[in-house]
């Protein structure tokens, strides 16, 4: 990512946020688990015990976590596919009158456009 004019301060912020476990935990707690990544070593993070709605996220032994687009490596294009709501729109099409085949074809074509750049 070379689009920022503030690369050094950005890296400094990341080191600041992630370089201290207590600071990082405070960040997670302040966002009510919204920013809790799906890392195996964070499965029992204290924030998950703050509200019963998180109970399903506790004790997930054997669950494998993957980044968007897995098994492909993470990329900006995969993130763009996610942020463009292609998958939810495909499902919306399929349940509101578009045939399943046509909805799948539409989604495939949209993803190909993104991947082509």
User: Does the pTM of the predicted model rise above 0.85?
Assistant: no
Q: For the chain, what is the domain count?
A: 2
Are 53 and 82 found together in one domain? no
Assess if residue 48 is contained within a domain: yes
Q: What is the pLDDT of residues 36-85, one digit of tens each?
A: 776 777 778 888 889 898 887 776 676 666 666 777 777 888 888 888 99
For residue 112, CA distances in Å to 1, 60, 80, 86, 108 come to 22, 34, 12, 11, 6
Average pLDDT, the chain: 86
pLDDT of residue 64: 66
By residue range, what is the domain housing residue 93?
A: 76-116
pLDDT of residue 13: 92
For residue 32, CA distances in Å to 1, 50, 80, 92 come to 29, 8, 25, 29
Assess if residue 26 is contained within a domain: yes
**Residue 86 CB coordination number (10 Å):** 19
pLDDT of residue 113: 96
Assess if residue 93 is contained within a domain: yes
Q: How confident is the model at residue 100 (pLDDT cuts 50, 70, 90)?
A: very high
Q: What percent of the chain has pLDDT over 70?
A: 89
pLDDT of residue 65: 64
Are 49 and 80 found together in one domain? no
pLDDT of residue 74: 75
SS (H, E, C) the chain: CCCCCCHHHHHHHHHHHHCCHHHHHHHHHHCCCCCCCCCHHHCCCHHHHCCHHHHHHCCCCCCCCCCCCCCCCCCHHHHHHHHCCHHHHHHHHHHCCCCHHHHHHHHHHHHHHHHHC
pLDDT of residue 107: 97
Of residues 34 and 83, the one with the higher pLDDT is: 83
Assess if residue 25 is contained within a domain: yes
């Amino acid at each position: 990512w070379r689009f920022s004019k503030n690369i050094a301060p950005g890296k400094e912020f990341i080191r600041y946020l992630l370089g201290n476990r207590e600071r990082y935990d405070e960040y997670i707690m302040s966002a009510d688990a919204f920013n809790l990544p799906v890392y195996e070593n964070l499965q029992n993070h204290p924030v998950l015990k703050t509200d019963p709605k998180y109970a399903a996220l506790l004790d997930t032994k054997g669950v494998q976590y993957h980044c968007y687009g897995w098994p492909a490596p993470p990329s900006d294009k995969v993130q763009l596919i996610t942020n463009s709501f292609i998958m939810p729109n495909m499902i919306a099409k399929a349940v509101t009158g578009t045939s399943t085949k046509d909805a799948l074809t539409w989604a495939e074509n949209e993803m190909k456009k993104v991947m082509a750049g």
